[in-house]
Structure 1
Amino acid sequence: MLGRIEELVIDCAEPAVLVRFWAAVLGGSPVDRGPDWSYVDPPDGQPRIAFQRVPEPRGDRKNRLHLDIGVADIDRVREQLLAAGARAVGGVRTDEQGAFQVMSDPEGNEFCLVR
């Protein structure tokens, strides 16, 4: 092993907004280190998720990396996330591995709810 993941960093326009959204999704308390850097330490040994302000806009490209969030009830969690500012991308998809729903956070970063 050459190293280990310390945290996942998401480039964004508004770190303070995204950290509060993701703290509601994953648990933990949002921490603002300044206007350009925020993070949340989710419980249960999940890795830290950090948000770094960058000057360029996200653009229309698809994420090259996304988070899969395990949930017991995709429909219930989707509705809660929609109320918190997320957007559903298409509908629930089912395959031989289970079901998933593609979502995007308030800045358009995609993630999946998986069951």
Structure 2
Amino acid sequence: MTNRWVGVTIDCVDVERVAGFWSALLDRPPGPARPGWIYLGHRDDPLPRLVFQPVRSPKHGKVRLHLDIAVDDIDQGIAQVITLGGSHTGERHDYDQGVVVVMADPEDHEFCLVQYY
């Protein structure tokens, strides 16, 4: 038996808006999906799909699982997220190996931009 990671599902009130943000940020077009849902990528892609699932209630509290997005330039990455409708939480961590900045998508799902040195 072979187990394989195939996706991450994100609950969101406005599926179109949140999926559009992530599609633009990661340059991943939507693939086949269930009605009302949006999938970025295909089941057989080398990268896991991002699945956007409609829910009625907004997020409450901190997300306990988040994505790390590698960028070549942290300042340009921050600017791109903000231009796409996301936000900067103000949290930044500088390490010998690089910098990590905590960002949020349009529905406040936290994620990290990471620039490795």
State TM-score, norm by structure 1. 0.86
Q: How far apart are residue 25 of structure 1 and its match?
A: 1.0
Secondary structure of 2:77's counterpart equals: helix
CA contact (8 A) 2:102 2:111 kept: yes
Structure 2: 5+ residue stretches without partners = none
CA distance in 2, matches of 1:18, 1:46: 19
Q: How far apart are residue 91 of structure 1 and its match?
A: 4.7
CA distance in 1, matches of 2:58, 2:86: 18
Question: How many residues are paired up?
Answer: 112
Secondary structure of 1:34's counterpart equals: coil
CA contact (8 A) 2:58 2:107 kept: no
CA contact (8 A) 2:103 2:113 kept: yes
Which residue number corresponds to residue 52 of structure 1?
53
CA distance in 1, matches of 2:47, 2:97: 23
Which residue number corresponds to residue 84 of structure 2?
84
Q: How far apart are residue 66 of structure 1 and its match?
A: 0.3
CA contact (8 A) 2:25 2:84 kept: no
Provide the aligned C-alpha RMSD in A: 2.0
Write out per-residue CA displacement over residues 33-60 of structure 1, whole angstroms, 9 at most, x where no aligned residue: 422x111118x8321101001122211x
How does 1:62-73 map onto structure 2 within 5 Å? 62-73=62-73
Indicate the percent of aligned positions where both proteins have the same amino acid: 41
CA distance in 2, matches of 1:65, 1:103: 13
CA distance in 2, matches of 1:46, 1:78: 23
